[in-house]
Amino acid sequence: MNALLRILSLPAVFLSRVPGLRPVVRACSTSVGQKFLMAITGLSLVGFLVVHLAGNLQLFAGEEVFNAYAEKLHSLGPLLKIAEVGLFATFAAHIGLAISTASMNKLARKSAYAMKETKQGLFVLPAGGASSWMMVTGLLILAFLVIHIIDMKLKKGFGVDYSAAFPAGQEGVDEDDANAFQAVKAVLSHPVHAAIYFVCLIALGIHLSHGVRSALQTLGVNHRNWNFLLRLSGLLLAWGIAGGFISLILWAMGTKS
């Protein structure tokens, strides 16, 4: 763990040597600063998920509509690549901050708490509620991201038949020339991949059900008269995102020829 933290701290070490940035880096290296950054990166990723879900829901509109949407994305060219790099950087930063803050919290406690309470209230899980499952669900989401890139971006999903997604049934052409609708349907209608996606999306719902509210509290969005509504809104957003993606799996399985 210490070796991993040293590796993750290298960007901060280099940035601290830039004139004028040292005070900022030092502030962000504190427990409070890291939690603030984790909240910002987390909410940024939630925003991406909302946009990504909105685009993918166009699968319900049919092949022509979804392929037009995919083609419009690919037409952005370098802008899309920059957005992808920014997205991965945000995701990597969120993971690094989660590991770092977890390590700092562990070191700050000389012993584990005798009893752990959850303030989630509206969503109950064993061993302390959703907050106790953040690391586990985070790892599942990371695994899901890797699988998703292999399946959808590289189109190399194990056991998936992509033949309907390529012109004249020829695989190996540029991924921008693939039929996006058929590629997504091929992945989501594969029983093993559908099961993996379903489990990982449940993990996403659990992760967001605590993460969204926790991030808002870190940023100061907290008032006793509104806390119940904020928790409820966070839960609805979390499971709305997870449920929206799960509905695509059910659609693909239901329309499998």
Segment 186-208, tens digit of pLDDT: 999 999 999 999 999 999 999 99
Separation of alpha carbons 5 and 217, rounded Å:
26
Contact 32, 101 (CB under 8 A): no
**Is residue 152 classed as helix, strand or coil in its secondary structure?**
helix
Percent of the chain with pLDDT over 90: 56
Query: What average pLDDT does this structure show over 104-129?
Result: 50
Q: Is residue 115 one of the residues assigned to a domain?
A: no
CATH for 50: 1.20.1300.10
- Confidence class for position 223, pLDDT limits 50, 70, 90: confident
15 falls within a domain? no
For residue 104 the two structure tokens come to 């700092």
pLDDT above 70 for 12? no
Contact 166, 186 (CB under 8 A): no
Give the pTM.
Answer: 0.83
69, pLDDT greater than 90: yes
State the residue range of the domain holding 242: 31-105+121-254
Domain for residue 148, yes or no?
yes
Terminal C-alpha separation, the chain: 48
156 to 124, 163, 237: CA distances (angstroms): 37, 12, 31
Domain membership of residue 209 (yes or no) is: yes
Q: Which residue has the tokens 């040293």?
A: 6
Per residue in 131-156, pLDDT (tens digit) is 668 889 999 999 999 999 999 999 99
Nearest to 147 by CA among 192, 180, 179: 192
d(CA 191, CA 208): 26
pLDDT class for 26, splitting at 50, 70, 90? confident
| Per-residue tokens: 150 | 């292999």
Whether the predicted pLDDT of 38 surpasses 80: yes
- Size (the chain), residues: 257
Residue 2 included in any domain: no
Whether residue 192 is contained in a domain is answered as yes
Tell me how many domains the chain contains.
1
Type of residue found at 72: K
